A = this chain, B = another copy of it.
Amino acid sequence: MSSLSLKIALAQINFLVGNVSANVDNIIKAAITARDDLAADMIVFPELIVTGYPAEDLLFRADFIEEANNAIQYIAESVNDIALVLGFPELSDDKLYNSAVVLHQGVTLACYRKRALPNYGVFDERRYFTAGNQVCVFEFNGGFIGLTICEDVWQKGIIDANKQAGAELLLTLNASPFNSGKINQREAVICSQVKAAQIPIVYVNQVGGQDELIFDGASFVANSQGEIIYRAEEFKEHIGRVEFINNKPIIGECVPLYDNIASVYQALVLGIKDYVRKNGFGGAILGLSGGIDSALVLALAVDALGSDKVEAVLMPSRYTQDMSNEDAILEAEKLDVKYHIIPIEPAVNAFTGMLAEVFAGTKKDTTEENIQARCRGVILMAMSNKQGKLLLTTGNKSEMSVGYATLYGDMAGGFAPIKDVPKMLVYQLAHYRNTLSQVIPERVITRPPSAELAPDQVDEDSLPPYEILDAILERYVEKDQSADDIIAAGFSREHVARAINLVDKNEYKRRQSPPGIRITSRAFGRDRRYPITSGYKGIKD
With A358-B340, A358-B342, A414-B508 given, is the CB distance from A482 to B61 under 8 Å? yes
A471-492 vs B: 1/0 string, CB under 8 Å? 0000000001011100000000
Any B CB within 8 A of the CB of A435: no
Complex interface: stretch among A12-20, A295-303, A327-335: A12-20
By a CB distance below 8 angstroms, the chain B residues around A537 are 18-19
For A359, the chain B residues whose CB sits under 8 A away are 382, 386
Query: Which residue of B is nearest A22, CB measured?
Result: B535
B382 adjacent to A536 (CB under 8 Å): no
Residues in chain B near residue A347, CB distance under 8 A: 347, 350-351, 354
Bound Cα distance A412, B374 (Å): 11
Q: Assuming A119-B127, A381-B370, A515-B511, is B354 touching A55 (CB within 8 A)?
A: no
Q: Which of A115-134 contact B (CB under 8 A)?
A: 119-120, 124, 126-127
* A511–B378 CA distance with the chains assembled, in angstroms: 19
Q: Choose among B63, B362, B381 the residue that contacts A386 (Cβ–Cβ < 8 A).
A: B362
Contact, CB under 8 Å: B346 / A370: no
A62: chain B residues within 8 A (beta carbon): 480, 482
Min CB–CB distance A272 → chain B (angstroms): 12
B350–A531 touching, CB < 8 Å? no
Q: Is A514 an interface residue (CB 8 A)?
A: yes
Q: Once bound together, how far apart are the Cα atoms of A533 and B382, in whole Å?
A: 22
Q: Mark A519-541, 1 if CB is under 8 A from B, else 0.
A: 00000000011111111111000
A461 interfacial contact with B, CB 8 Å: no
A379 on interface, CB distance cutoff 8 Å: yes
Q: In the bound complex, what is the Cα–Cα distance between A538 and B64 (angstroms)?
A: 9
* A196 contacts the other chain (CB 8 A): no
Contacts of A482 in B (CB 8 A): 61-63
A350 pairs with B355, CB closer than 8 A: no
Q: List chain B residues, Cβ under 8 A from A22.
A: 535
Most buried by B among A61, A209, A362, A365: A61
Complex CA gap A55/B536 in Å reads: 9
Within 8 A of B (CB), among A90-125: 119-120, 124
A432 within 8 A of B: no
> Digit string of A332-365 for contact with B (CB within 8 Å is 1, else 0)?
0000000010111011011101110111001001
Quick check: is A316 within 8 A (CB to CB) of the other chain?
no
When chains A and B are docked, how far (Å) is the Cα of A515 from the Cα of B346?
Answer: 33
Of A184-192, A273-281, A452-460, the one contacting chain B is A273-281
Max chain B Cβ within 10 angstroms of own Cβ: one of A18, A210, A534: A534
Quick check: is A305 within 8 A (CB to CB) of the other chain? Answer: no
Residues from chain B with Cβ under 8 Å of A17 in the complex: 531, 533-536
Contact present for A379 and B351 (CB under 8 Å): yes
Q: Does A375 contact B (CB under 8 A)?
A: yes
Q: What are 18 sample pairs from A and B whose C-beta atoms fall under 8 A apart? A: A16-B535, A19-B535, A19-B537, A52-B535, A57-B528, A58-B530, A61-B482, A120-B127, A124-B127, A124-B529, A211-B531, A211-B532, A347-B351, A351-B379, A355-B382, A371-B382, A374-B378, A512-B512
> Lowest 9 CB-CB distances: which A-B pairs, in order?
A19-B535, A18-B536, A63-B482, A18-B534, A350-B350, A408-B408, A16-B535, A367-B385, A346-B350
- Beyond A16-B534, A347-B354, A374-B378: 14 further Cβ-contacts under 8 Å? A18-B534, A56-B529, A58-B531, A60-B480, A61-B536, A119-B127, A210-B531, A342-B354, A350-B350, A358-B386, A377-B408, A407-B412, A512-B512, A512-B513
